[in-house]
Amino acid sequence: MAKIQTKKINVNDFSEANRMDIAKLARSLNPFYDDIERALRKGLTVDENLPMQYQTFTVTVDAFGIPTQRMVLNTPLTSVKGCVIIKAVSTDSFVTATPFITFEQNNTTLEIKHIAGLPATKSFTLTILLVN
């Protein structure tokens, strides 16, 4: 894993005419850079600190992309803004286009309504990323 290092804003790197404005910017950003670097060193991770969730499930769709069985997923996320398919695996078929999911959310359940890009009648195991 690459080590993240921030570069602080140094007012002396800028022309005399811009230094006053850059100094104002540096007073805000330099402490922020320190905080981010310190948090990452302590083990801050995107997975544990952003409102998102990975889900894996198996689905088969018909010729219109509608799941052949009702697909309802439980999630602690209360207001899912988007869903991205990050992996689609099948033992006997390939994805035919970039898959896209249409869903409806009702509180803590997500119902998959449509999945574009999967061939009909073929079983796929999808890993998706839900973003709150």
pLDDT tens per residue, range 19-74: 999 999 999 999 988 888 888 788 877 667 778 999 999 999 999 999 999 999 99
Q: Please give the CATH topology (third level) of the domain spanning 50-131.
A: Immunoglobulin-like (2.60.40)
- Rounded-to-integer distance, Cα 12 and Cα 15, Å: 7
Q: What region does 121 belong to: left with phi over 0, alpha with psi -120 to 50, or beta? A: left
Q: What is the pTM of this model?
A: 0.66
Domain ranges (residues) in the chain: 11-41, 50-131
Residue-wise pLDDT tens digits, 4-20 = 667 889 999 999 999 99
Mean pLDDT of the chain: 89
